A and B are shown apart, each in its own frame.
Chain A
Amino acid sequence: MGEAKTDILQGTLDLLVLKTLDSMGSMHGWAIAKRIEQVSASVLAVNQGTLYPALLRLQQKGWIAAKWGTSDNNRRAKFYSLTKKGQKRLAVEERNWEQMVALVARFLQPVS
């Protein structure tokens, strides 16, 4: 049970990060965390600590790419952006998610 939970959480976090980068373009780690918090209206208090290992994982899988750059306040920061592969993956994940939601909804509907 514990294993499955981490998988789902991991997968969900991946999806959130990919979607964020897709809609907002290139961002640094902190901005991604803040954005996820914002969009979820602080319901999802992402453990910021798990973000960075997740970013590394996404990099290793080739879905995002990283580059060092300068932030708005002239500090050196690492910026992440979605790759083509990542875009494809995002589409797949979105589709999967919608399918699962539809399936569960069917089950939860009162028998007609």
Chain B
Amino acid sequence: MTWLRSIVTRISALFRKRRLDANLDDELRFHLEMEEQDNVRSGMSAKEARRQALLRLDGLEQVKEEYRDRRGIPFIDSLLQDLRFAFRSFRRDPGFTATVLVTLTLGIGVGTAIFAVVNAILLQPPTYKDPEKLVFLGRINDKKGVRTEKISCGDCYDWRDNSGLFDSLSCFYHDSYRFENEIYWGEQVDEAFCSTIGVHPFLGRCFHSDDFRAKATHDGPEVVILQHSFWKSLFGADPGVVGRTYDLAGSGRPTTIVGVMPPGFGFDYRIEKYFRPLFSIHRAPHVVGSHGAIARLKAGLTLEQAQARADVFSQRMAEAHPDTHTDWRYVLNPVSEKATAGVRDPLRLLLAASGLVLVIVCLNIAGLVLVRSQKRTSELAIRSAIGAARSRLIRQLITENVLLSFAGALLGLVVAGLLTSYLRSWVPESVASYVLGADHIGVDPWVITFAIGVALVNGILVGLLPAFRGTSFRLATWIREGSTSSIGSRMERRAQHYLSAAQVSMAVVLAIGSCLTVRSLLKLHEQGAGFQPSGLITVSINALGLSRPGWALEPEERRRYFQQIYGAFWQSLRAEMQSIPSIEGFTFGSSAPMAPVDRIRTAM
């Protein structure tokens, strides 16, 4: 327990330093006076009495020092002393300080901003449980050169039940729904959805089998699970809406909100706003490639093993359904790769570039510090002469540098904050919806840790060289020859040369790299879209409402009904369009050129 008390007194001593020092001075002064008086009483002269008293109290300053050492925490004491000294010396040298601060701010600001982007997009895992085990099912037709993630519903269940590769598989279907006169995109999902991805609504519940049965028979209200951001914008994040029924679609069919997904959750990285139970009518086997599937690999199965087995299974499917499945082979796309596929390489490049920038900043500052340390040789020599240990001097120099680096990092974080908020607002919605995390780019704890880490490394490394060089003089030589020994300055000049050379070479690399990148971008832009975009209008049409009466029919009849209904609709539309004189021509298809794939039903 005594060590605890001793630690407490030592820490409190840090704060009451001045008072305690005054007390000690008083006590020692009292002691001296008493001793003096005693000496006078035994017959010494006043002067002799004083001298003898001082002699008895053998080394007053050292006594005080030993007392202080015992009283406080010497390491922190000296650290605080170093910091105060550093402040003063920086204030005296504003040119140096300002230059270093500006360099650090820019370098750390840019580097941290890039890191924030990389952090938000590449390093934060998607919000699923064990995302490394999750894959999206896709297929490739090598003959036609087509690659898609749309498979048929029958495929879904084939893979789930017969392939033996997955612990669970969930089938889904992109669809749209009307909420309050606006049409939103969302997903229809099956019962296994929540359990496969391992994410459950944070309010309410996931779908269970009753919901699906009710859907098939159109009994009761529709059920829906909302995405967090959608819930915020529609209902202002009111938790009371869960469980309530609304007539949202305006179709007279009430909708019950059964759950809300947790914030930050994104599925398939689209801008889906809600989840609904999968329509049973869509379970038409092996026909149209309209569904998607996400599956969790069996434990112990690596991606390569699974893909190999999947290839075998693809063969079997092709043999079993020759008219629909020949030339198609199925692939397993890991969830995490899909999220970042397009941006991964550019981001890595950016990260490398910003790393180079940071290194240049480091070298630059090292050069400045080296020059400054030359000016301080005399000061360091004197301190060394009084008895400062070399390690103490080095510690002081490094502390100075770290202090400066921290100040620069702080300012750099401010710059990074500005940059990231600008980046966040600048990323277009279509890109943000594909790249999960793009809306989370910002200064979060990881980013701050990064900035502090960079500052620390910078401070220590940058301080190391000048510290060692600056304290390795021979005292006698210095005193004899004056403040600068010629050998020392030659070595310093050589160090400066190396530093400059390294900086210039890296800067050249960066400059060339960015020029090439810009040129590629320009070339891409020149290439154009392959069509004339001026005067072209794209319209997206959702004609789902037409199909409603057809739900009640049997599958075969239903298909014929849809063909008939939709066919009639497009014909009439075409006729109307042709009659408008200002339209030169039109066409329709399931997606517009250069649009995010499969979002737009029709383009004209």
Which residues of A approach B to under 8 Å, CB–CB? 28-31, 33-34, 47-49, 52-53, 56-57, 60-62, 68, 71, 75-78
Residue in A30, A57, A68, A76 whose beta carbon sits within 8 Å of that of B34 in the complex? A30
Q: Please name the residue on chain A nearest to B23 by beta carbon.
A: A78
Q: A48-B58, A56-B67, A60-B5 are in contact. List 19 more A-B contacts (CB 8 A).
A: A28-B30, A30-B31, A48-B35, A49-B59, A49-B60, A49-B62, A49-B66, A52-B24, A52-B67, A53-B67, A56-B71, A57-B70, A60-B2, A61-B2, A61-B6, A62-B5, A75-B30, A77-B27, A78-B26
B465 contacts partner chain A, Cβ-Cβ < 8 Å: no
Contacts of B178 in A (CB 8 A): none
Q: In the docked arrangement, what's the CA distance between A28 and B27, Å?
A: 9
Q: Which of B2, B30, B59, B60 contacts A77 (CB 8 A)?
A: B30
Give Cα A62–Cα B6 distance, bound, in whole angstroms.
Answer: 9
B311 proximal to A (CB < 8 A)? no
**In the bound complex, CA of A26 to CA of B24 (Å):** 19
Q: Which of B27, B56, B70 has the most CB of A within 10 A?
A: B27
Contacts of A75 in B (CB 8 A): 30, 33
22 A-B residue pairs with Cβ-Cβ distance under 8 Å, sorted by A, are A29-B30, A29-B31, A30-B31, A48-B57, A48-B58, A49-B60, A49-B62, A49-B66, A52-B24, A52-B28, A52-B63, A52-B67, A53-B63, A56-B70, A60-B5, A62-B2, A71-B34, A75-B33, A76-B30, A77-B30, A78-B26, A78-B30
A52 CA / B25 CA spacing, docked (Å): 12
How far does the alpha carbon of A71 sit from the alpha carbon of B34 in the complex, in Å? 10
Give the residue name and chain of the A residue nearest to B62 (CB): A49
Residues of A within 8 A of B28 (CB): 52
Which residues does chain B contribute within 8 Å of A48, judged by CB atoms? 31, 35, 56-58
Contact A34 B38 (CB under 8 A): yes
Q: Which residues of A lie under 8 Å from residue B33 when comparing CB positions?
A: 75
CA distance A49 to B71 in the complex (A): 15
Contacts of B67 in A (CB 8 A): 52-53, 56
Main secondary structure of the interface of A (DSSP, over half): helix
**A contact residues around B34 at 8 Å (CB):** 30-31, 71
C-alpha spacing A62/B31, complex, angstroms: 23
Return chain A residues, CB-CB under 8 Å to B70: 53, 56-57, 60
Q: Are B63 and A49 closer than 8 Å at their CB atoms?
A: yes
In the complex, whether B9 has a CB less than 8 A from a CB of chain A is yes
Bound-state CA distance A48–B6 (Å) is: 23
What is the chain B residue whose CB lies nearest that of A34?
B38
Nearest B-chain residue to A77, judged by Cβ: B30
Complex CA–CA separation, A76 to B33 (angstroms) = 12
What is the CB-to-nearest-CB distance from B536 to chain A, in angstroms, rounded to a whole number? 85
Contact residues in A for B62 (Cβ distance below 8 Å): 49
Question: Given the interface contacts A48-B56, A52-B63, A57-B70, does A29 sit within 8 Å of B27 by beta carbon?
Answer: yes
Quick one: which of B3-18 are within 8 Å of A by CB? 5-6, 9
In the complex, the answer to whether A49 meets B57 with C-beta atoms within 8 Å is yes
